[in-house]
Amino acid sequence: MSNENYHHENLKADLIKKGLKLLDEEGYENFSLRKVAKACSVSHTAPYRHFDSKDDLILAIAIEAHLKFNQCLEEAVNKHPKDNKSQLKEMGYAYVKFFVENPEYLRLFFLSDFANNLKKMNHESLLNGEQPFNTFYQAIERCQGEIQNREGESVDPNAMALSCWGLVHGMAILIAKKDFSYDGDYLELVRKVLWAGTFLDL
């Protein structure tokens, strides 16, 4: 560390941090490698010593964001230590809330390179129990025994998973993207949907 101007103490971490900030501020569309480099006061090719490509940096940022997301979901679970259904409902609410409050993460999670990045991510660092979709999925599985439909039959686990996840995911996107317009408190409406006695009371 003799010449402070040459070696940036921890550039890799800084690129992720500043990159996430840039993404928040300017949006996915206006995100560029060179801007991130400039934000870190470093030459425009310096990131290549730490990331293979732009997509690779975005992937790293996405992983970072997933950790935040996962934390939100787990906090929701912990609100209802012994009630599986309430866990799942609370988690659905947190799921929507997270994306409504961080709409830019939607693109990061689900659009960065359409399945490619996310697929890679799933197979790598997030498979060690920190994957939010696993967190969500597991909560669904814990409920499975407790759910019947109106005829008292048990429910197809796959149909239930798709249904729960789809509902929550769809609401999050529609609201975050402002496609669903409603003249009131969106999150309150979500609460109503999830606790209406229909969700999970198949």
Binding site for DNA (CB under 7 A): 1-3, 6-8, 11, 31-35, 42-46, 48-50, 53-55
Q: How far is the CB of 201 from DNA (least distance, A)?
A: 48
Nearest Cα to 135, choosing from 187, 181, 52, 70?
A: 70
Q: Give the up-direction half-sphere exposure of residue 151: CA atoms within 13 A in the CB hemisphere.
A: 3
C-alpha to C-alpha distance for 77 and 85, rounded to whole angstroms: 10
Q: Site for a second copy (CB under 8 A): which residue of 113, 127, 146, 154?
A: 113
Complex with a second copy: residue 52 or 156, whichever CB lies closer: 156
Q: Which residues pair with 148 in a beta bridge?
A: 154
Taking CB under 8 A as the criterion, the residue among 11, 39, 40, 193 binding a second copy is 193
Q: Is 127 a residue that touches a second copy (CB under 8 A)?
A: no
Q: Is 201 among the residues that bind a second copy (CB under 8 A)?
A: yes
To which residue do tokens 């730490």 refer? 50
Burial of 47 (0-12, 13-18, 19+ CB in 10 A): buried
Instruction: Kindly indicate which of the ranges 4-12, 35-43, 57-65, 156-164 contains the residues binding a second copy, using the contact rule CB under 8 A.
Output: 156-164
- The residue (of 16 and 194) whose beta carbon lies closer to a second copy is 194
- Which residues lie below 8 Å from residue 34, measured CB to CB, with a gap of 6+? 44
Per-residue CA distances from 141 to 132, 161, 186 (Å): 14, 8, 28
Between 50 and 107, CB nearer to a second copy: 107
- 81 binds a second copy per the rule CB under 8 A: no
Q: Which option in a second copy, DNA, none does residue 76 bind, with CB closer than 5 to 8 A by kind?
A: none
